[in-house]
Structure 1
Amino acid sequence: MKKIGSFIVASLLITLVFAQEQKNVDSKITHVTVFLNRAQVTREAKTRIDAGKTDLVLKGLTSDLDQQSIQVAGKGNFTILGIAHRQNYLNEFNTPAPLKALRDSLDYTQRQLALENSRKEILNKEEQMLLSNQKIGGANQNLTVAELKAMADFYRSRLGEIVTTRMKQDLQIRKLNEKMVKLQQQINEQNDLYGRNTSEIVVTVSANDAATADLTVNYVVANAGWYAVYDLRAINTKSPVQLSYKANVFQGTGEEWKNVRLKLSTANPNLGGLKPELAAWYLNFYQPRYAAREYKSRAAGAVQSAPAPEMMKEEVAMDSASPAESVADFVSTIQTSLNTEFDIALPYTVNSSNKPTLVDIRNHEMKADYTYSVAPKLDADAFLLARATGWEDFSLLPGEANVFFEGTFVGKSYIDPNNIKDTLSVSLGRDKRIVVKREKLKDFSSKKLIGSNQRENYAYEISVRNTKTEPVKLIIEDQIPVSQNSQIEVIVGDLAGARYNQNTGKLVWEIALQPNESKKIVYKFEVKYPKDKIIAGLE
């Protein structure tokens, strides 16, 4: 028995000595690389570890992280043995201060509402007591007039006070209910972001002696990304166009990116990095069962994806001596083999919310040529256009642009680099000082029946006048119809020197107008078609 007891004690001592310790470690987000869809988060943690094996647990992480993307690196006299990820459905995210304040306000309002309802209930019971005890004196007791008057005054006064106080309480109760509804709506909006489970990363390490462990953890999260927005500014028609490249960064991971270094990347990991492979294209007679099986096989192979390979980075240096005028001055552009990255030196805070955070990327200056354009068939006003060049060097993405001219907001435009050729055209608004008029010339327009065909002649006059004190360049656009039927023939007449596109029927004139100068353009065409037919859309 003594031997058995000694063996059990020894076993317990060995178990205690070699037991694997688990230690919770606080970590902080320091860097975030935001892709067009998703983001890579970098956390740093520092702790002391004892000799032996230890499970370091990083708690309070988003449940949206991709466990396949976890990378851990460390500094110190220890060895990283393994990495594990697990969901924690018991612990929710640490409630941020604004949400705590909302919940506290709701709790206080609920207590106030309960107090007011209790006071109202007390008044109601007092009123019931007074109304049920209106009998004055005993059956054989006679009261004087003064006593009756005093009792009547008491009932009138007290019942009046009860009614007045209750009305005030009803008003207060209504206001408290309205406040509770608003607070609850605000809390519900944030609960969608924070009222979810968390996850944990467990890093198993081993050390021969006690040591300090510095850990760097990277992982990719969903529900995050950025999209481009622009400000286009022109001071006047003689200055270049200022392009402010900005980003709306959003994330709904539940984690708070507080005072972190941001890097914006034009990469999109969601698309995958594997080159598609063509399979043999077989032909056979239709057989439903075999075709369905083959389709499933192909579909299963098509969803495979792999992370993009690590890219060689070539950083473009900035002038460190340049003065700091805006956040854009603290952004360096990095051209990788496949994408562009914007590294922002200043720390940013991006809250987990439905509202994006606006980040300045770069300010660019583009040479611009200013001209006016008018399509009098659609609108008699001339529009000032800034035609800018050199935009190809800025790694632009499709995005909405706010347009400003002479310090005034003009409107919104859209920049799509995929559909821009050499020149980026931006409309800067209407100019009423360019007077344009388009009218049909009746003297040159006619209808004639020749044989079995109807022939209609059309002539239009476009008159323009520059009432400005400076010369302008004007682009005039109009059109003649295009036949889609072999029985309809469009005969082009005098086009007054316009550039003519036969496929679209578009006419373009480019003219220069001196101050107070007027010009007229007349163009003609003829339409020939069978006399027993009616053409739609001719007028």
Structure 2
Amino acid sequence: MRKCYLLLVLAFFYHTLLAETPRKTVNTSIDKVTVFLTGAQVTRTGNTTIQPGTTTLLFSNIAPNIQTQSIQVSSEGNFTVLSVVYQLNYLQQQEKNQEIDRLSKIKISLQDRLDVENSLLNVYAQEEQVLQANKAIGGEQQGVNINDLKQAADFYRTRLSEIKLKQLEIGKTIRSLTEQMSITDKQLNALHAQPDQPTGEIVVTVSSKTVVQAKFAVSYLVNQAGWHPTYDIRVKNISNPISLVYKANVFQQSGEDWNNVKLTISTGNPQEGGTKPVLTPWQLSFFHPHATTYATMVAPAMAGVNIRQIRGRITASDGNGLPGVNIQIKGSTVGTSTDANGNYILTIPANSSTVVYSFIGYHTLESPIHSPVMNFTLQEDITSLNEVVITGYGVSRGLAGKIAGVVTKKKDQEEASIPVNATMVRNQTQATFSIDYPYTIPTDGKQYTVDMKEYSVPADYEYYCTPKLDPDAFLMAKITNWDEYNLLEGEANLFFEGTFLGKSLLDVQTFTDTLQLSLGRDKNIVVSRTKLPNFTTKQFIGANKKEARAFEINIRNKKAQPITLIVEDQFPVSTNKDIEVTRLESSQATVEEETGKLTWQVKINPAQQKKLTVSYEVKYPKKERVLLE
């Protein structure tokens, strides 16, 4: 109780101090942004004059959703920083994009007109009800002469006709206005228009004995930002190096536009925990499993198996597509975003099982990779924002005030000028790419492609085929010393001899010295794998059954030059002592004993054809069933 009372007293004293000290707004602008894989550090700078005494400085128009513990305030001047506070300003809304503002006003105007037309429609409907309820003329004891009846009939017919025509006219107007509203809503969705949100403010209290010209740099981390690596891989021919363009697809919905900022792309991720794991004692005990259905055992194991690409549509609760939804494979840097209609296509890395869908203003959704087509509806997040957060306080004296672990830079410690293209710096735990000219990235959630680096990469080329899984031959490029390029896992656009071949995946999750890039299919190498019926046998020996299988692989080179083709197949491998596998024929392939993998390195001249044979025999109990193909 005493602790709570003390906190109330301190809070009252603090806010009383703010109310009594002069307040001054410091005009700042964003001059540099460091974009991480998840999140971005925004740095604002500004100058102001500090009067003698205690002054409260207000840094306004800050993003409303920032990590408050990340706020850093650097300053130059002979004064003392007393405290730093972050709060929300609900009286000042975020500045809207001009096009969004124009469309929002059009939508309000259309809604006003719809309200008027619906009101008129309701009035005519009520008048019609009154006329229908008062059709009776005369009474039970008194008749109606012909003239009165004719006048009444003419009146009802004329007025009801007028009402019906008016209702039809209003109905047409309502349908037209509704259609215009729908089109406006779709355009606002395409521009990623968000409901009005408050702005953030950083309140810095300083103390000075004299008039001081102060320079401030305020930085903070926003969550609604990030980037995905993608690549353009261009091959002129197999006699030349690969041209590899390293790109960053940057997106942000922080609530503040980044206009002409110095952009730095970082391979770091501040959202990941930095605390090392600690082993605890591993204590064994008896395990008593609960009853488990076959579906629950198989489904997790099958999730994502052999699914190499997913596509789908992400919608809001009203059924409209959500553009700019961030889609990422969990545990990797592979990602993309939805287009203007909410559609997406994403290549899946090996051993991936979960995909994450996130969009500002909506709950994040995680789903197992269970199908090549994955459609979802995101639910709106109506959680309210905290109004005031105090992030730190303290006193620092001297020429530079320091808050939240900030070290003030001197002028001679500023970063050197950036050369042409981009400057790559390898830090202790990450690599950064400083872009050589200013970039503008609005807060609309769209992906903006930033070319970071272009490499001319020496490569060895060969063809690869696994006809058991896919009959096509793939051109592969083998790159050594690839780790010096600081590549991340991501999608790659393939171009061969100036033609776009499609997408592939740059898989850098490997521990080998050689990185293999798949450059697409080559239809001029024809490969087929057929089962030989003459070698398919089945016989019974006592309590056992013996079956044999044989497959023939035919390869034909239709290209004008000789090729080297790596062909892979496999023998089955027994996991049960009652199943015996005998390897009969492998056409002099290299065989991995533990896995049964067969590898041939075949050199084929133009118009030449070669054949390879795989055959094996399996013996197992005749009462059991074994899949042999």
TM-score scaled by structure 2? 0.65
Instruction: Write the letter of the residue equivalent to 2:489.
Output: P
Q: Which residue of 1 aligns with 2:230?
A: 229
Residues of 1 paired with 2:405 and 2:205: CA distance? 28
- State the distance in 1 between where 2:262 and 2:60 align: 22
- After TM superposition, list the pairs within 5 Å mapping 1:352-431 onto structure 2: 352-419=443-510, 421-431=512-522
**Contact in 2 for aligned 1:194/1:254 (Cα 8 Å):** no
Maintained 8 Å contact 1:31/1:41: yes
Task: Label 1:239 to 1:158 Cα distance change in 2 as closer, same or farther (>3 A).
Answer: farther
What SS does structure 2 have at the residue aligned with 1:176?
helix
> Which shows bigger deviation, 445-454 or 263-272?
445-454
Secondary structure at 2:616's aligned position in 1?
A: strand
Counterpart in 1 of 2:628? 538
Q: Which digits, 9 at most, give the CA deviation of each residue in 1:465-492, with x for residues without a partner?
A: 2122221111222222111121222122
Larger radius of gyration: 1
Task: Name the amino acid aligned to 2:215.
Answer: D
Aligned to 1:253: 254
Residues 476-485 or 164-173, more deviating: 164-173
Query: 1:537 Cα shift?
Result: 0.7
Sort the Cα spacing of 1:276 and 1:464 in 2 relative to 1 into closer, same or farther, 3 A: closer
1:421-500 equivalent positions in 2, closer than 5 A:
421-449=512-540, 453-500=544-591
- d(CA) in 1 for partners of 2:593 and 2:129? 93
Deviation at 1:127, TM superposition (A): 9.8
1:46 lines up with 2:47 in the alignment: yes
C-alpha contact (below 8 Å) 1:87/1:197 kept by paired residues: no
Determine the structure 2 residue equivalent to 1:501: 592
Q: Residue 24 of structure 1 contacts residue 58 of structure 1 at CA under 8 Å; is this kept in 2?
A: yes
Question: Separation in 2 of the partners of 1:165 and 1:283?
Answer: 82
Q: How much does 1:195 deviate?
A: 2.8
Displacement of 1:536: 1.3
Q: Tell me the CA shift for residue 390 of structure 1.
A: 3.9
Q: Which runs of 5+ in 2 are unaligned?
A: 1-18, 138-146, 287-403, 408-412
Look up the equivalent residue of 2:520 and give its one-letter code.
G
| 2:88 match | 88
1:30 and 2:31 aligned: yes
* Equivalent residue pairs, number: 477
Give me the whole-angstrom Cα distance separating, in 2, the residues matched to 1:435 and 1:283.
57
**Residue 253 of structure 1: how far off its partner (Å):** 2.2
How is 1:3-402 mapped onto 2 (pairs within 5 angstroms)? 20-76=21-77, 78-96=78-96, 97-114=98-115, 116=117, 167-183=168-184, 193=194, 195-277=196-278, 281=281, 320=420, 329=421, 331-402=422-493
- Do the aligned partners of residues 189 and 380 (structure 1) sit closer, same or farther apart at CA in structure 2, a change above 3 Å counting? closer
Shift of residue 396 of structure 1? 1.2
Is the contact made by 1:367 and 1:390 (CA closer than 8 Å) also made in structure 2? Answer: no
Cα distance between partner residues in 1 of 2:110 and 2:31:
38
Partner residue in 2 for 1:325: none
One-letter identity of the residue aligned with 2:620 = Y
Rate the CA distance shift 1:190–1:200 in 2: closer, same or farther, 3 A. Answer: farther
Change (3 A) 1:111 1:452: closer
- Letter aligned with residue 477 of structure 1: E
What is the DSSP-based 3-state SS (H/G/I as helix, E as strand, rest coil) of the residue aligned with 1:354? coil
In the alignment, the residues of structure 2 paired with residue 309 and residue 21 of structure 1 have an alpha-carbon distance, to the nearest angstrom, of 25
Change (3 A) 1:111 1:522: closer
Q: 1:38 touches 1:270 (CA, 8 Å); kept in 2?
A: yes
Contact 2:418–2:434 (8 Å) recurs in 1: no
Write the letter of the residue equivalent to 1:382. Answer: A
Residues of 1 paired with 2:120 and 2:257: CA distance? 43
> 8 Å contact 1:400–1:414 — kept in the other structure?
yes
CA–CA distance in structure 2, aligned partners of residues 206 and 462 of structure 1: 83
Kindly indicate whether the alpha-carbon contact (under 8 Å) linking 2:234 and 2:496 is maintained by their aligned counterparts in 1.
yes
Residue-by-residue CA offset, 1:248-296 (whole Å, 9 max, x unaligned):
22333222222211111112222343444556x497999xxxxxxxxxx
Other structure's SS at 2:38 match:
coil
Letter in 2 for 1:91: L
* TM-aligned CA deviation for residue 42 of structure 1: 0.7
Work out the CA distance in 2 between the residues paired with 1:430 and 1:284.
51
Match of 2:246, SS?
A: strand
**Cα distance in 1, alignment partners of residues 92 and 189 from structure 2:** 15
For residues 189-219 of structure 1, what are the alpha-carbon distances to aligned partners after superposition, in whole Å with 9 as ceiling and x for unaligned?
9898563333321222333443432211122
Instruction: State the superposition RMSD in angstroms.
Output: 4.1
Equivalent residue for 1:9?
none
Q: Secondary structure of 1:493's partner?
A: strand
Displacement of 1:384 after TM fit?
2.8
CA contact under 8 A between 2:94 and 2:198: conserved in structure 1?
Answer: no
1:432 to partner: Cα distance: 3.2
- Whether contact under 8 Å (2:79, 2:209) holds in the other structure is no
Note closer, same or farther for the CA distance 1:455–1:85 as it changes in structure 2 (3 Å cut): same
Q: Is the alpha carbon distance of 1:438 and 1:218 closer, same or farther for their aligned partners in structure 2, counting shifts above 3 Å? A: closer
Q: Deviations over 1:47-90 (max 9, x none)?
A: 233333211111222232233322222234x3132232132353
Deviations 1:473-524 (A, max 9, x none): 1122222211112122212233221011122211111111111111222343
Looking at structure 1, the residues matched to 451 and 74 of structure 2 have their Cα atoms a distance apart, in angstroms, of 31
The structure-2 alpha-carbon separation of the partners of 1:422 and 1:533, relative to structure 1 and needing over 3 Å to count, comes to farther
Q: Which amino acid aligns with 1:353?
A: D
**CA–CA distance in structure 2, aligned partners of residues 71 and 533 of structure 1:** 73
Query: 1:334 Cα deviation (Å)?
Result: 0.8
Gap change, CA 1:507 and 1:128, over 3 Å in 2: closer
Deviation track 1:164-204 (CA, whole Å, cap 9, x = no partner) reads 67644422221112323454576689898563333321222
Letter in 1 for 2:439: Y
Task: Tell me how far apart the structure 1 counterparts of residues 131 and 279 of structure 2 sit (CA, whole Å).
Answer: 93
> Whole-Å Cα distance in 2 between the matches of residues 251 and 210 of structure 1?
39
Larger fraction in helix? 1
Identical pairs, percent: 40
Deviations, residues 104-135 of structure 1 (Å, cap 9, x unaligned): 112222343355557778988999999999x9
Instruction: Work out the CA distance in 2 between the residues paired with 1:266 and 1:198.
Output: 29
**Alpha carbons of 1:178 and 1:318: their partners in 2 closer, same or farther (altered >3 Å)?**
closer
The alpha-carbon distance between structure 1 residues 178 and 422, as it changes in their structure 2 partners (threshold 3 A), is same
Checking the alignment, whether the CA contact within 8 Å between 1:230 and 1:243 is kept in structure 2 is yes
Q: SS of the residue aligned with 1:536?
A: coil
Label 1:160 to 1:202 Cα distance change in 2 as closer, same or farther (>3 A): same
AA paired with 1:260?
V
Provide closer, same or farther for how the CA distance between residues 74 and 318 of structure 1 changes in structure 2, counting only shifts above 3 A: closer
Cα 1:362–1:129 shift into 2, 3 Å: same
Is contact 1:193-1:254 (8 Å) kept? no
Alignment deviations for residues 221-249 of structure 1 (CA, whole Å, 9 cap, x no partner): 22322221222222333333222211222
Secondary structure of 1:273's match? coil
Matches of 1:128 and 1:37, distance apart in 2: 62
Secondary structure of 2:445's counterpart equals strand
Aligned to 1:518: 609
Q: 1:219 to 1:240 in 2, by over 3 A?
A: same
For the residues of structure 1 that align with 2:471 and 2:283, how far apart are their CA atoms? 59
Separation of aligned partners in 2, 1:372 and 1:44: 55
**Is the CA contact 2:235–2:496 (under 8 Å) kept in the aligned structure 1?**
yes
Give the AA of the match of 2:48: T
